[in-house]
Amino acid sequence: MCDSVDYPTKRDLCGVFFRVERDGKWCNICYSDMTQEERGKVRESIANRLSLEEQVGWWSSLADIIADALHEVGDEFDIVCSS
């Protein structure tokens, strides 16, 4: 990978993958491992391809998947945030 871009550590935590071009090569990258710019491109692509109603369902699904992954990490490492 290119040294000029600081990519997040590859963890594959949420399990939702997209084809992303990095350093001239197409890679399968987990949504939670993308840069903010890459996530922005995904959002733009979803907005251009789906109706507003379909977008709501799609983003709702993604939120559920990420919440489940976050809960699983918390369970695995017994993490509890206090208020």
8 and 68 in contact (C-beta within 8 Å)? no
Model pTM?
0.83
At 13-61, the pLDDT tens digits run 999 999 999 999 999 999 999 999 999 999 999 999 999 999 999 999 9
Q: Provide DSSP, 21-59.
A: EETTEEEEEEGGGS-HHHHHHHHHHHHHHS-HHHHHHHH
